[in-house]
Amino acid sequence: MVLVVEIAVQGALDELGTPLSQVTFVVFDLETTGGSAAEHTITEIGAVKVRGGEPLGEFATLVDPGGPIPPFISVLTGITDAMVTTAPRIDSVLPSFLEFIRGATLVAHNSPFDMGFIKAACAALGYPPPANPVVDTADLARRMLTRDEVPNCKLGTLARFFRSSTEPCHRALADAKATSDVLHALLERAGSLGVATLEELKSFVRTPTPEQQRKRHLADAVPGTPGVYVFEDQRGEALYVGKSGNLRVRVRSYFTASETRSRIREMIGVAERVRTIVCATGLEAEVRELRLIAGTKPRYNRRSRFPEKAVWLKLTDEPFPRLSIVREVRPDQASYLGPFSSSRTAEDAKAALHEAIPLRQCTERLTPRHTRRACALAEIGRCGAPCEGRESPADYTLHVASARRAMEHDASVVFSAMEARMERLSVEQRYEEAAADRDRLAAYVRTAARMQRLQALTGIPQLVAASPAFDGGWDIHVIRYGRLAAAGVMPRGAHPTPYVEALVATAETVVPGPGPTPAASAEETECILRWLESPGVRLVQVEGGWSLPAHGAGRLKARIDRAYQAIEARSPREGRPLS
């Protein structure tokens, strides 16, 4: 059933633009079966029409997507197959919605997502795409708010910050009303910055600060080559580290109006010099940037500053091994899964493994001679109670082997167990518990897939690869145990053998340590992997084999990612930290 309420109000135009008080806004939100407009469909449309802060009408309807709604989406939105059974199809809803938005300026939070689905529906049904102006509240928030005010630009965060009368809940009309409240709060702030018309709002950008203009000379001596740049204060302390394929162009951009990040503008006010490190290749610049950030921990860099704080899930090395969350990989016989970005994510992965494999969860050290009374987990069949002698060391070893295999080679046993549990919880309409299990499974699968991918490279003593350079030559890199050991450029037309041999001979000696990332941070190895997988890269030498486990977590990660598309399509923009 489509609910449409209209209140007629006559608008007006100003000769110098459209005053914001006279703009008719239609703030809308969609719920869908997934994150890709090419593969998924709309399940709900909600919209509110406002002008001058006054409501003019609402549009709200569920939409029959023509197929089943994925369980993950039902958990997120609360919209089930039963709810849309009697709902109209999109071919009945779209004409009414297009009429509702006629002549209005459209507003959405992360508008490319919602507009992508509307345009796809129009294309499928033979309607021209809407030509309405579009305002994105997520983009406006990033321009007008600082990280000191809000940590990110998610709709829920902004609604709480501006004390919206409606709480976002992944239902279309409620989210549209919350977005409307956020819009009006942002318009008030824009007014204080001198923005009075729709045209000014859409072109809003901050001007360079006096400090930015005064310190433009810091970029004068920067070379136009690939490399790393370091902004330093008067004591030589690193403030900010970055990389670029053209150092001069990138550093100059910090002193122009295009640099709108408040913290970077603040950094420019403190900076007294820019130190540059010229690199042979773009990959070398990217790796050096990561190492410098980790080594100097510049206070204006937000990422990669503390790789040593990574968290690992350890299958301990003792008579009756258990899962333990640790911050250090030791040279022992234990198995490790990670690295995780936080203890909470590691706890989620740990819970997923425990759901599938009955490892003991007590923390004291056990031996065949050391027995004690079993806990409640044994009574409900979640542990074989080796502590009480009910399970022999040989039988318990089978669980340990299953856990090690799930961590390093085959994720299917954990995936199947968690999937069955989520389906059972969904049938019982225990959606919050199912959502928690979804996140636990995602934490396990994504981390296992990442670690297995890293280990495929970190187990290779030496790999030499080359990629085409812009001038017709070749960028050559020596990688040892997942660490960049050397980088160089071979000129066009030169014979490769002398260059490769010289680069290998002068490359850094790498002595691997313990664990899945024995010689470099996980971020560095991932950076190298991205380069190796880029178009045109050629393998020159490989010591040993390079392969992924046939039944590894990588094949299941794609299923997890598809299930999360509706969330992921919004989160990277809505939730991107403010600069």
Residues paired with 50 in a beta bridge: 25, 55
| Inter-residue contact 488 to 499 (CB < 8 Å) | yes
DSSP string, 550-572: TTSTHHHHHHHHHHTHHHHHHHH
Q: Of the residues 170, 354, 399, 477, which is catalytic?
A: 170
Q: Classify residue 277 as exposed, middle or buried by CB count within 10 Å of its CB (0-12, 13-18, 19+).
A: middle
Record the tokens describing residue 67, joined without a space.
């197929």
Residue type, 223: P
Distances (CA, A) of 9 to 28, 51, 104, 334, 542: 20, 9, 13, 71, 72
170 in active site: yes
Q: Is 153 helix (H, G, I), strand (E, B) or coil?
A: coil
| Inter-residue contact 261 to 145 (CB < 8 Å) | no
Whether the ω angle into residue 339 lies within 30 degrees of 0, i.e. cis, is yes
- Euclidean distance between CA atoms 48 and 31, whole angstroms: 15
DSSP string, 185-221: HHHHHHHHTT--BHHHHHT--PPPPHHHHHTGGGGTT
- Find tokens 């394929």 and name the residue: 245
Q: Is 517 helix (H, G, I), strand (E, B) or coil?
A: coil
State how beta strands 105-108 and 24-32 pair: parallel
Task: Report the catalytic residues.
Answer: 170
